[in-house]
Amino acid sequence: MVAIAASTYLAASVLTLSQRRTTTSYGGIKKCCRILAVSAERVGRGTDFGENEKLEKKKMNQKMVKEESEVKPNIYANPQELPEFEEDKKWLKDYFEECKEMIRSDGGPPRWFSPLECCSSTSPDCPLLLFLPGIDGTGLGLIMHHHKLGKVWYCVSGLELVKLVERTIRSENYRTPNKPIYLVAESLGACLAISVAARNPDMDLVLVLSNPATSFNKSQLQPLLPLLEIMPDQYPLNLPYMLSLATGNPLRMVMDNIKRGLLPQTIGELSQDIVTMSMYLSVLADILPRETLRWKLNLLKSGSACANSCLHAVKAQMLILCSGRDQLLPSKEESQRLQKTLADCEIRMFEESGHFLFLEDNVDLVTTIKGASFYRRGKHLDCVSDYVPPTPSEFKKVHESFSWVLTATSPVMLSTLKDGQVVRGLAGIPSEGPVLFVGYHMLLGIEIIPFVAQLMMERNILVRGIAHPAMFVKVKDRMPPEPDPANFDVFRVMGAVPVSAANFYKLMSSKSHALLYPGGVREALHRKGEKYKLFWPERSEFVRMAARFGAKIVPFGVVGEDDFAEIILDYNDQIKIPGRREEIERVTTRTAKLRTDASGEVANQQMHLPWMLPKFPGRFYYYFGKPILTEGMKVELREKKKCDELYLRIKSEVEGCIDFLKNKREKDPYRNLLSRVLYRASHPCSISPFHLPSFDL
């Protein structure tokens, strides 16, 4: 009777929200009408499926043409003024308010529901996302992420047992066999998701699991089972303990915001959250009454055992979100165990977060999935067509994380207009794609950050960087000095794609602005005395492809690394250190090798980190030459001689840009950091690092 009562209560927690809205059922999925307007259409298609699909695509194309013809304001122009979060984001208070409605029992069976915030997506290509809640069982654990999830997924939520989840995903897989199905789950729900994946190894599932409860037998929760049997009913829940579970590390949040100058606001928000938690303790008690808590702990125990017994059968792609301060489960150790056990598993750590990861303000589920390259609409990831541009709040966070680079280097950017006039700023960059930026890769490639940021702020243009595959490779059993894949998430969020002929073709055919460094790793990890020296391959790798789509090629140069750092030990020095050569070779071998058939220095692609001595920061200088038009040259460039001539011309232009900047910066009175600091101090108005004065043109 206890299990039945608890099960009825859990089912009701999902029903109540659905009762407050008109709903329709299809394929075992309970959805609100805004979602089911799409689903019902799919049900009724029958034999005219193709006709409706064509009509749907035609409407989407008309909408895209209309949007492209409209002149939109540049939302990235002033990162400091961008909102920290989206306006429609919900908070911890909203979670408790909606829980009040959800926990009203009606005795109904388990079911799915779709929050209205998740019904805003208009793209027919969005995959389905199912959320399996944790120990709270309300299905509202993603409430702080609904506003963003609805733009790239069709989302439904609920608490279901394995067979019910199976019926849902099999129905969805039958309707859309070429789309993945996302299972987002936490703790108990993660055990269910693993069991479902193990029973359906041939289905295209993507699992995003927060602090899986597969480690229940090692957790602090297991001893609660016998205690609940003997504990008096009047024993109250401990307030500090509940707060610690939900908030992770409040001190860390305060320190992070001190750096951004938001201390008063942060203290207010923190105290408000504490007050909110204390106000809703009765709701917490209603969510987990004693009988339900005991039943759920037993469910956790059996669910954990079931999931662990079938781990060997899991073939699904999996992303584990792990909290460093999880006081309920040993999530750190468990995530590492799962990664070693499973074939396709990645981890993203949140060192200062508590168990309820999805209820923390600083955790953005959509950004995390995008950064880990886990968002796709088809069977395989397409880095070009599956890419979702950064939202204003995402760009603001990226800009803030690299603001020290902009402040320290105060970049000077020059571009060339169609008539050959050199101007300050990026007015000479073509607005219409395809555009291919071809230039010099400075030490460690640090010049990318100011360039991408300024182009978005000044021209509202997103550059897709063509990057080394090492930024995308998934390496199990990572060992130092191999980099953590999470270090490159920010570059993937900002549009980086792995270098390949296929991706280059897709970027040019989609009229993108792409960034290419022919010198690649050899330039970015150059040796002593090689600064500003190009290491380009002999073959003209990119010219024909650019001409095929009539791309505008913008050669550019950048200088400033010699004012920023000095190489102490390069590759030639490090391989003389005992054991270091083997480490470098191991890292290079485990990453994708490029240009194995090339000759000369460009073929030396050893992955190592030069040892450097930082300098008193100087300044970065960029010069974008006059765009080279390839429209109408497709046939002409089929001739190897003509193609090589254009290639050498581009290389010469890049070298000319570098020489121009090296000469001009000698006349810059603000090249030194101290002079720029004094200038800022004498001008009380806030000045962007990009707008500080420099040499005369």
Q: What are phi and psi of 39, to 5 degrees?
A: -65, -40
CA pair distance 630, 358, nearest whole angstrom: 49
- The DSSP bridge partners found for residue 552 are 435, 629
CA pair distance 302, 323, nearest whole angstrom: 23
Tens-place pLDDT, residues 491-547:
999 999 999 999 999 999 999 999 999 999 899 999 999 999 999 988 887 999 999
* Nearest Cα residue to 374 out of 346, 402, 397, 394: 346
Q: How many CB atoms lie within 10 A of CB 184?
A: 29
Q: b/e string for 224-254 if b means 16 or more Cβ within 10 A? A: eeeebeeeeeeeeeeeeebbbbbbbbbeebe
3-state class of 636 per DSSP?
helix
Please give the helix or strand (H or E) that residue 128 lies within, else none. Answer: strand 128-132
* Identity of residue 39: S
- How far apart, in Å, are the Cα atoms of 390 and each of 257, 371, 463? 22, 10, 12
Q: How many CB atoms lie within 10 A of CB 464?
A: 23
Alpha helices in 215-330 (DSSP H): 224-230, 239-247, 250-259, 263-279, 281-287, 290-309
Whether the Cβ atoms of residue 306 and residue 195 lie closer than 8 Å to each other: yes
* Nearest Cα residue to 622 out of 408, 405, 409, 401: 409
CA pair distance 134, 317, nearest whole angstrom: 20
Q: Alpha-carbon torsion 491, 495, 498, 504, what sign?
A: negative
Q: DSSP label at 386?
A: T
Q: DSSP label at 665?
A: G
* Nearest Cα residue to 283 out of 115, 159, 136, 158: 136
Using the structure block, give the residue that is written with the tokens 């949040």.
253
CA pair distance 18, 108, nearest whole angstrom: 11
Instruction: For 499-639, list the strands marked E by DSSP.
Output: 513-516, 552-559, 565-569, 611-614, 621-624, 628-629
Q: What are phi and psi of 141, to 5 degrees?
A: -65, -20
3-state class of 184 per DSSP?
strand
DSSP codes of every residue in 199-247? H-TTS-EEEEEES-GGGGGGSSSTTHHHHHHHS-TTPPPPHHHHHHHHH
Please give the helix or strand (H or E) that residue 186 lies within, else none. Answer: strand 181-186
Residues 6+ apart with CB under 8 A from 234: none
Q: Measure CA of the first residue to CA of the last residue in the chain; give whole Å.
A: 84
- How far apart, in Å, are the Cα atoms of 24 and each of 8, 29, 102, 120, 181? 21, 9, 19, 18, 21
* Nearest Cα residue to 149 out of 86, 105, 195, 216: 86
pLDDT for 563 equals: 86
pLDDT for 265 equals: 47
List the structure tokens of 429.
């960059």
pLDDT for 321 equals: 96
CA pair distance 85, 280, nearest whole angstrom: 24
Low-confidence stretches of the chain (pLDDT beneath 50): 1-53, 64, 67-68, 158-160, 237-244, 246-247, 250-268, 270
Query: Within its chain, how far is the Cα of 141 from the centroid?
Result: 20
pLDDT for 24 equals: 31
CA pair distance 382, 115, nearest whole angstrom: 29
Length in residues, the chain:
697
List the structure tokens of 383.
């880095």
List the structure tokens of 316.
């699904």
